[in-house]
Amino acid sequence: MPDIPLYLAPLAGYTDQAFRILCKDWAVDYLVSEMVSADGLIRDSRKTIEFMRFTDYERPFVVQLFGSEPSVLAKAAEFLLEMNPDWVDINMGCPVKKVIKRGAGSALMKDPPRAEAIVRAVKDALAGNIPLSVKFRSGWDSASLNYRDYGLRMQDAGADLLCLHPRTTKQMFSGLSNWDHIGALKQAATVPVIGNGDVISPESAKKMLEETHCDGIMIGRGALGKPWLFKQIKEYLETGNYHPITKDQLLTTSLKHLDYALNSKREDVVVREMRSQLCHYTKGLPGGAELRNTINHCQSAIEIKQHLSNFFGNLL
Closest CA to 150 of 127, 166, 128: 166
* Region near ligand FMN per CB under 6 A, out of 18-26, 146-154, 191-199, 202-210: 191-199
Provide the strand spans (E) within the chain.
6-8, 30-32, 36-37, 61-66, 87-92, 132-139, 161-168, 193-196, 216-219
Interface with ligand FMN, residue 165, by CB under 6 A: yes
Exposed, middle or buried by CB within 10 Å (0-12, 13-18, 19+), for 243? Answer: exposed
Interface with ligand FMN, residue 169, by CB under 6 A: no
* Region near ligand FMN per CB under 6 A, out of 40-48, 86-94, 228-236, 266-274: 86-94
CB of 89 to ligand FMN, least distance (A): 7
Task: For residue 218, give the 3-state DSSP assignment.
Answer: strand
Interface with ligand FMN, residue 257, by CB under 6 A: no
Closest CA to 228 of 256, 258, 194: 256
Residues 275, 222: Cα–Cα separation, whole Å: 18
CB of 66 to ligand FMN, least distance (A): 7
Among 39, 58, 198, 215, binds ligand FMN (CB under 6 A): 198
Interface with ligand FMN, residue 93, by CB under 6 A: yes
Closest CA to 216 of 191, 241, 195, 240: 195
Task: For residue 30, give the 3-state DSSP assignment.
Answer: strand
Closest CB to ligand FMN: residue number: 220
Interface with ligand FMN, residue 94, by CB under 6 A: yes
Among 13, 128, 244, 284, binds ligand FMN (CB under 6 A): 13
Whichever of 208 and 301 has its CB closer to ligand FMN, that residue is 208
* Alpha-helix residue ranges (DSSP H) falling in 189-278: 202-212, 229-239, 247-264, 267-278
Whichever of 64 and 253 has its CB closer to ligand FMN, that residue is 64
Where do contacts with ligand FMN occur on this chain (CB under 6 A)? Answer: 9-14, 34-35, 64, 91, 93-94, 135, 165, 173, 196-199, 219-222
